[in-house]
Structure formats: C-alpha cells, structure tokens
Structure 1
C-alpha cells in the first residue's frame, strides 16, 4: 500500500491490524468490526483474560506472545497502542513497508460527529478531564469520558450514543494522529516527561503535545497556561489558527481565566464567571489552574453558572492523585502514585505541611531531580526508595536527607515508613517515575500502597 493513500480508513473492506490488546486495542477492534473491517489483533505479550474474552465473544481474530509478521504486513492500516514505542521491531518493519500507522484517537474520530474536548499536558490532565466531565454531565450534556482515562474512545464511539466527549490525551496518542481535531483543546502545562521515547530531546516532547492543536480552525478553541514559559515560547514561534483562551495566576487577562482578590474569574466575550478559591474542593495552585481550564470549557459550552459552582465545590479529586488514604497514630498516609514525573512530585511535595517521609522511585524516564532539592531539604525527613535501580535518587538526595532506605516491595516500603514516622508526620507516595519495574501500572502501585497502609 502506498503510504500516501488516504482512503484506507474509509474503504469498508480494508484490513486493519491492531498492535496491543489492552483498552485502546480492544476498543478499536470492536469499532473496526462494526465498521466492516477485516480485523486482526496482535499482542507481543500475554492478553488479559477480560480482553481476550471480548475478542472471542465478538469473533475477532487475535494472537498473543508474539507477532506474525506475514499477517501483520498485509494490513492496509495499523492501529498501534500508545504503549508500543516506535523503535519496536514490528513498527520499524511496518514503516519500511510504507504501511500507515495511526492511533486509536485518529481511527475513532472518523466515526463520530460529537463535540470533542481534548485535554493534554505533563500534569493535571486527569484531574482537569475528570472535573470537566463532571461539570458537563451535571450540566445536562450527553457526555462520555475516555482516551487515556476510563473507557477506550473507540469503544465509546462504537456505542454511537454520545454527543460530547472529554478525552484525556497522552503525547503517545497524539503522535499517531493525522486529521484528529478537538473543538476545544487544553494544554495544562509542560515539563520534561517520557524523554526516553523522544530521543531525550525536550523539544520533541513539546512538539508532540502541541499536535493537539495542529488541525484546529478559527472556529475552535485552545485553552492553555499563560504562566508556562515553554508554552508561551512555542506559541510565539508557531502561530495557530484556533482562538486562544489562556489562564493565569499571575496576570489579569482581558479574555480567558485569571486570579483576582482570591477568586477565579473567567471572562469570555463579556460572559463572566467568578468564584472564591477557598470554596473550590480541590486545593493548591495547580488545582486552581485545573479548575480554571475546566470552567473555561463549561463556559464555552453554555453550562449554567450555578451548576459550575456546585461542581467545583463538590468535586473530590481523582484516585492516586494526592489522595488521603488513612491517618494512623496521627500520621497522614497520602497516595500520589499518579505522579510519574518530577514536575508532578514537585506539586505534591510543595503541598506538604508536615515533616514528610517520601516514598519515591521506579523506572526513571530521564529525570532531573535538581528542581526538587529545595523542597526535599525543607520538607522531607526520610526517603524510602521503591524501585529496581535507585542509584540516581540516592546520588541526588544523599547529601541533604539523613535517612535513605532501599526497598523492593510496596509492603516493605510502607512498613519502613511506619517505623520512621512520628506524630504529625506525613507519609507520601509520590514516585516521580513510571511503575513498570515492580507494578503493572500506576493504578496497581497506588492500590498496593493503600492496601499496605490498611494492613498496618
């Protein structure tokens, strides 16, 4: 197949090969089957039973624990699951053969006319997506939440019952788009993350995030953090077509969202909304920004001000993000397993009010821990490493924290924290790393932490 042939997705008899049989892969398989594609699913690892059952029940051909090259290279189009890197041998082979490779987001967007809110960023995207979805749902819109969170976008599209989607989008998902364009795009912030997938070049990762706006028109909106230097630099060098709606804690804006007199103020075309910051359920400057972004979306989509206010007052936050688990002997245990990069942990440590025992570590993605040094010096009394290779953490903080322990299981880490903790301390799991060395994913890591705390 010529790599420039654009009709392959539209042609209903096309053969689609799906690499990876997780949430996005199986969701894509279901939608593709519904759209009369010849579907083949191939996973290099073992397929989870729940996904295998879906494939069997829907009579979709699949394989696991290896890729059959001959079957895969007969594809007209390939949907690559976001976790598979471009340097994987099968992906290289597909590129050599000029076979189109897209993401689930690209594929599914062809089959819906719904209004799409696409949310990306290094941190805060899950909270912003969850809060946006909550406000829109309470506001009476027919809306679903998907993408990098919750259900697969493709599976939701296959159900053909939603008029609006709120999608959390990772850089990996955006790497595989060609024509996907959300009506409203949000970029929460930028900080170095996943650099191992971007040749250790921050500019490659930034460019990947900005793909969220590349197909937008003057009818669309781009909501972004005007306090983020990297975002502002990129925008100054790369003009975009969409209408700009910034948010800021530092400056008053004529159009967008800003902080004034300890209130958030949203001003879009003389449609104003304001709310005292102390009344917002999720606290901290980063969460004020998340609330600003979500409220801007709700204002654009004409949700009633009273509904927005009630949603902001009642939103409990998301699991694994600064989630208070239990207080034992006056020690607060906090699950921030979703902090898979240094910037997320920066926010977490910054919010700590008491001397903190910090559980950190996992798969390092090219982390630079230097920005954490002042916070660690001020707030952290002991570090418990939780990873296969902790050398970088020990080297970074060994001179400023007296106690650094190495553990290789969550139960061991939590027990060590319990022994070190004194009255009015906090124990914070905020790994600043990916989880794949000891855990299935960050959710598994967070749940194991909560389970270990409850067993104390």
Structure 2
C-alpha cells in the first residue's frame, strides 16, 4: 500500500486526504497549526491519522509522495527536508487530476479568476453540459472528484496551485492578466511569478486551446519566449482584432473560431468595468470552443448574477448607489473598480497595506473620487499617498461609521464604493467578513432612512 502524506488540513488538504484514502492509499495528515473543527471531524469520521501543531519528520519521511497544501511556502524547513530526501511533492490539483477523465478548463490570473471561472461554469451549465467547478474557489478539486462525476471541470488555479503540477493537463487554459502579486513567495522576482502562472500550459498538446490577454505586456512578452509545444492560441483584446479569439470593435464583442463567428453588443454584458470585458470574453470563448451556440451563451449571460464582494451592487439609498468590491485586495483590482464608473465616487479604502504602490491610482482618484474614507487600523500610508490629490480624506476603524459618513458626503447619482486595495485582516476575519459588514451597514442605513 502506497504511503501518502498530506501537509495542511484545510479544504485542499482534507479533500486530498479523503480522495487518497478512497483510492487505497495509507494516508497521514500533518498540520503545523490547529486543525479547524469541521476538517478535524472529517478526518476522525474517516479514521485518517493526523497530527496538528507540528510536523513529525519520522512520520513524514516514510511517504512515497507528499501533497502540499498551496498556502505552504516552499522555503520552510519541512519542504526543504523533503526535497533533500528526494521525496516527490505534488499539489492537490495534480493528485485529483489522476482520478478523473473529465475535460479540464483551467483559469488563472492575478485578478478576475473567480469571476471568469464562475461565469464560464454558469454558461456551460446553462448550456446543458455536465460540468463541475472547483480549485481555488469553494470546494477542492479532490473532494469534487471523490463525490461527483462530471464531463467537464472549470478550475480556478492560483500560482501556488500551479507550482507543483507534474502530469496535470488542461484541455483549455486561460491566463487573464499578470500583475505583481505574492512576490514574497517568488524571491521578489516578477519573472518567477510569471513562470509559475505559465505552468498552466504544462503538458498541453497542440489540439488544446490557450486563451490569453493579448493586451497584457507581461503575458505577451513571456509568450514570445515560448516557441515549442504550444496549444492553439486564442488571444482576447480590447484594442486589436484577431482571426482566432475575441476582440472589441464598434461597441461589440467579436468572437472568432474555426466553428463560430458572432458578435455581442457590449450593453448585453452582465458585469461592470473594462476588466470584466476581458473576463466575459474569456468565459464566452471557453463556451464557444466547447460548442455552445450563440443563443445558449446569450441566455446564460442574461441569468448570470455576478459574485459577492466583486463589484456587487448592494442598494440605492436616495439615489446614492452602494457597491461592495471587498475582494479588491490589491491596487490593480481597486484601479479597475474605480474606472468602472462615470459618476463621482466616495471611495472607502484601506486595511492591511502589503507594501502597496499607490501611484497608479493617483490619476484615477484625481478624475473620479470626490472623497476618500480610510478604513484601517493604521491609515498613515494610504492617507499620505493621496494627500496631494486635493480631496477630503477621513479616517475610521468602524464599518458603520464609514458607510454613514459616505452617505453624508454623497449627492444624488454619486457612487459609494468599498474597494480597499488592501488586505482585510487588520480589522476583519477576511475579505468576505469585510464585505458582509459593509452590506449590513448599508442595509441598516436604508432601514433608518425609510
């Protein structure tokens, strides 16, 4: 019986452990932190041996293979020891892919992964395909493979999940964009981060399809260096037409492939913002390459509601619209959110600053923002960054105060936008908690006025 060790007992690790046990492996789970109650109970219920708050080398070194949860850095001692012992290290996504015959649609990018993954899944499901959704989004791929059978999987994959792919092969791969993120994981070298993203092409064959953002300099320049074993290229662009792929011209999205050629007016798109045009082009390209008709795609677009915490409309309070974009935890995400509106914006931003460079936001703020409300434990950096923007800047550590103040500052037709550009864990559990507190505060405001 093969021995498998799983490092990390979150959704990814627990899902991998359950699948491995079902496939006949002797499984041991090791987590250096306390395992959360729900996942611990699942391991107990299935009689899977585990340890928490430590990594016991004598129990780990006997593994034939180790599955490393994506969040575990590569430089820590246990990973270094495994590498020195030549014990293979893989990812949960790699492991799960061995046990499904489904066609795999893999989506990555610095921003927009979740929206694109959900939209692609929605279009395929609405079009009648037997499709599942997994990866860096909700349920792990391993758990899905264990519990469900699908002909297709749409997978959101982070760079962390791509690092240890070995035999995983996507049938359709997509890179939406690449901007500096998680560089501490990659020796502060952007090229290392880009290379991790491009591992999504590993093992693809020439009959496969690669959808990529032609307007993204990092993607375009790196792709030029990839001269062998490339799948069929399907670029998406807002500025350049193409014979295969998708582009925008005369307020229409054009989709061109070997077996399809159609247009969609931009006003039919279900999501706000230029960034969501890219996301929508990628999702529709995936649906088209899998044979869905224009009519089916259009029906799917009409029923797509978008995702919580991603440019999510919350309410209109006396002609002031409130939007929750709590998922915008970096500068680039906040930039595309701010550029999505033509009305004046009261911007709620701030949180745990990850060493942000706010320069890209300054011209956008100058043109679009009428007031900035900084919501964080330490607002010094963000306040200083926009001091010369000549807009009112306020500070608070309470969401309800931020929402009430924003409403006081707003005039009819103005936008109140929560798009923090920062991580959430200085004041909140996570970005979802931050977004839910924003939603609750807006609903309380609406109730108090009515």
TM-score range, shorter chain: over 0.9
- Provide closer, same or farther for how the CA distance between residues 28 and 393 of structure 1 changes in structure 2, counting only shifts above 3 A: same
8 Å contact kept, 1:80–1:101: yes
- Provide closer, same or farther for how the CA distance between residues 310 and 97 of structure 1 changes in structure 2, counting only shifts above 3 A: same
Instruction: Give the stretch that moved more between structures: 136-145 or 281-290.
Output: 281-290
In the alignment, structure 1 residue 198 sits paired with structure 2 residue 186: yes
In the alignment, structure 1 residue 114 sits paired with structure 2 residue 102: yes
Query: Following the alignment from structure 2 to structure 1, what is the Cα–Cα distance between the partners of residues 397 and 164?
Result: 35
The 3-state SS of whatever aligns with 1:399 is: helix
The 3-state SS of whatever aligns with 1:324 is: strand
Aligned with residue 290 of structure 1, among 272, 279, 284: 279
Query: Deviation string for 1:279-307 (max 9, x for gaps)?
Result: 12223322222121111111111112211
8 Å contact kept, 2:274–2:340: no
The 3-state SS of whatever aligns with 1:105 is: helix
Aligned counterpart, 2:448: none
In the alignment, structure 1 residue 77 sits paired with structure 2 residue 79: no
Deviation, 1:401, is 4.4
Aligned counterpart, 1:243: 232
Instruction: Give ranges in structure 1 of 5+ residues lacking alignment.
Output: 1-12
In the alignment, structure 1 residue 218 sits paired with structure 2 residue 210: no
Q: 1:44-443 to 2 correspondence within 5 Å? A: 44-240=32-228, 241-443=230-432
8 Å contact kept, 2:272–2:311: no
Aligned counterpart, 1:33: 21
Query: Following the alignment from structure 1 to structure 2, what is the Cα–Cα distance between the partners of residues 201 and 401?
Result: 35
Aligned counterpart, 1:9: none
Deviation, 1:410, is 3.3
Query: Following the alignment from structure 1 to structure 2, what is the Cα–Cα distance between the partners of residues 73 and 270?
Result: 52
Query: Following the alignment from structure 1 to structure 2, what is the Cα–Cα distance between the partners of residues 177 and 248?
Result: 28
8 Å contact kept, 1:104–1:154: yes
Query: Following the alignment from structure 1 to structure 2, what is the Cα–Cα distance between the partners of residues 258 and 356?
Result: 29
8 Å contact kept, 2:272–2:340: no
Deviation, 1:59, is 1.5
Alignment TM-score, normalising by the size of structure 1: 0.92
Query: Following the alignment from structure 1 to structure 2, what is the Cα–Cα distance between the partners of residues 422 and 96?
Result: 63
Query: Following the alignment from structure 2 to structure 1, what is the Cα–Cα distance between the partners of residues 385 and 197?
Result: 29
Query: Following the alignment from structure 2 to structure 1, what is the Cα–Cα distance between the partners of residues 174 and 81?
Result: 34
8 Å contact kept, 1:196–1:366: no
8 Å contact kept, 1:119–1:125: yes
- Provide closer, same or farther for how the CA distance between residues 355 and 237 of structure 1 changes in structure 2, counting only shifts above 3 A: same
Deviation, 1:334, is 1.0
After the TM superposition, which segments of 4 or more aligned residues of structure 1 sit over 6 Å from their partners?
none
Query: Following the alignment from structure 2 to structure 1, what is the Cα–Cα distance between the partners of residues 390 and 57?
Result: 51
Alignment TM-score, normalising by the size of structure 2: 0.93
Deviation, 1:234, is 0.8
User: How large is the Cα RMSD of the aligned pairs?
Assistant: 1.9
The 3-state SS of whatever aligns with 2:389 is: coil
Aligned counterpart, 1:447: 436
The 3-state SS of whatever aligns with 1:392 is: helix
- Provide closer, same or farther for how the CA distance between residues 149 and 99 of structure 1 changes in structure 2, counting only shifts above 3 A: same
Query: Deviation string for 1:197-242 (max 9, x for gaps)?
Result: 2222221111111110122111211001111121111111222521
8 Å contact kept, 2:273–2:337: no
Aligned residues: 444
- Provide closer, same or farther for how the CA distance between residues 181 and 409 of structure 1 changes in structure 2, counting only shifts above 3 A: farther
Query: Deviation string for 1:141-200 (max 9, x for gaps)?
Result: 110011011211000111251111000111111112122121000111111112222222
Query: Following the alignment from structure 1 to structure 2, what is the Cα–Cα distance between the partners of residues 331 and 380?
Result: 14
Deviation, 1:436, is 3.1
Deviation, 1:396, is 1.5
Query: Following the alignment from structure 1 to structure 2, what is the Cα–Cα distance between the partners of residues 24 and 93?
Result: 22
Query: Following the alignment from structure 2 to structure 1, what is the Cα–Cα distance between the partners of residues 22 and 390?
Result: 57
Query: Deviation string for 1:420-447 (max 9, x for gaps)?
Result: 4444332211122233333333222222
Aligned counterpart, 1:3: none
8 Å contact kept, 2:334–2:421: yes
Deviation, 1:123, is 1.3
Instruction: Give ranges in structure 2 of 5+ residues lacking alignment.
Output: 446-450
